Amino acid sequence: MIKIKILLLITLLSSIVYANDDRPPIAYDFLAKKEVRQFVNMMVKKHNFKRSYITSVLKQAKLDRDTLARYTGKYKVGSTNGSWERYKAHVLDPISLAKAKKFKKAYYKTLKRAEKTYKVDMDYIVGFMGVESKFGEYTGDYSVLDALATLAFHPNRMKKFFKNEFKHLFLLSREKGYKVTKLQGSFAGAMGCVQQVPSVARKHRSDFNGDGVTNPWDLVDCIGSIAKFMHKKGWQKGLPVASATNFKGKRFKAAKTSRKKLKTLKSIKRLGIYPTQTFYGKKAYLLKTRNTTHDDVWVGSKNFRVLVRYNNATTYAMAIHLVAEHVKDR
């Protein structure tokens, strides 16, 4: 990753609509490509893999046309309109919210331990788990090998990122004893109940259940992993994450919104935008989510920035926030 500060840059529902291709993966000679052979040489020389092992795995990799189509499609004008409604329909529906409350109740002691150990807020751990995999129910059925090999060695807008992840796939598999050809995950190669790409799985893994194994498919380990991530990225326990505002117009164009650059709260208020919920601090992120006919405008704290460090999308982070709000004090 260019040193992309990754942490899942991929959304369950992209706020921008791109093409997809439902045709199944097909046989493909990856080793016929010069850059693949160069990759093999690098893994042998720099990371001490056996050439026969890497080439054997690559001979089993298939071209995943569906995965590739998701990262080569062109932006469609107006495609973000309604993206917030589409996202909410998948992760903030009544069934999902009921599961969130049930999960919090079932894992309360573990969540409380994570909260105390890492000085984070348990409700946001619940939010992460719900948005990422519906509490471990949906962890992906794509071949991680096929997805990452395809994206690492075919032109697409995130090729450099995925080439780095392909390297980490081999490193992770060696460390954990995984059989690369058997791993399943998302179309972007993310695995487990908090959907981590290989580099993130290596960096933020946690043995929170104390069984001597870090398992990205184990719910307790995932609770520890997310809490660890939040702590490392600067989570401030008890700090309000976001607030809706009084904006009632159609499209918000009065100022540029950003999930990366803070504005003074005074400058936001000068636009006529005021938080309608508990929110404090001198600075905030000015945010918006796009419905079909109008925008919702929000303000976010530094904790909101932590959420988008895991997945760089406002809709994603806002969904986590709303799940957390729903289960708070329940």
pLDDT for residue 160 is more than 60: yes
**pLDDT over 50 at 9, yes or no:** no
Torsion of CA 133, 137, 141, 147, to 10 degrees: 20
Residue 14, pLDDT above cutoff 50: no
Q: What is the pLDDT of residues 265-295, one digit of tens each?
A: 999 999 999 999 999 889 999 999 999 999 9
Q: Which two tokens stand for residue 243?
A: 């607030």
Residues 6+ apart with CB under 8 A from 290: 15, 80, 81, 82, 83, 84
- Cα separation, 27 vs 44, in Å, equals 24
User: What does the pLDDT average to over 140-144?
Assistant: 97
Find tokens 């806002």 and name the residue. Answer: 318
The pair of three-digit structure tokens given for residue 230, joined into one six-digit string? 């939040």
What value does the mean pLDDT of the chain take? 92
| pLDDT tier at 74, thresholds 50, 70, 90 | low
Q: Across residues 196-221, what is the average pLDDT?
A: 96
Q: What is the dihedral of CA 208, 324, 299, 118, to 10 degrees?
A: -20
Q: Using one digit for the tens of pLDDT, what is the confidence trace for 86-128?
A: 999 999 999 999 999 999 999 999 999 999 999 999 999 999 9
CATH code: domain 26-75+139-204 is 1.10.8.350
Active-site residue identified among 35, 85, 115, 132: 132
Active site residue 35: no
Categorize the per-residue pLDDT at 24 as very low, low, confident or very high, splitting at 50, 70 and 90: confident
> Can you give the pLDDT at residue 149?
99
| pLDDT higher than threshold 80 for residue 65 | yes
Residues 294-318: b if buried by 16+ CB within 10 A, e if exposed:
bbebbbbbbbbbbbbbbbbbbbbbb
Quote the pLDDT of residue 83: 87
pLDDT at 241 over 50: yes
Task: Give me the mean pLDDT over the 225-229 stretch.
Answer: 97
Q: Please determine, for residue 10, whether its predicted confidence score (pLDDT) is greater than 50.
A: no
DSSP-based three-state secondary structure for 155: coil
Q: What is the pTM of this model?
A: 0.89
Domain ranges of the chain: 26-75+139-204, 83-138+207-232, 242-300
Q: Does 26-75+139-204 match 83-138+207-232 in CATH topology?
A: no
pLDDT at 327: 97
Answer whether residue 30 shows pLDDT above 70: yes
Q: What is the pLDDT of residue 161?
A: 97
Q: H helices within 134-255, ranges in order?
A: 144-152, 159-176, 198-204, 219-232
Quote the pLDDT of residue 329. Answer: 84
pLDDT at 75 over 70: no
Mean pLDDT of 165-175: 98
- Closest-CA residue to 113 (of 201, 204, 209, 200): 209
Q: What is the CATH number of domain 83-138+207-232?
A: 1.10.530.10
- Cα–Cα distance between 22 and 88 in angstroms, integer? 24
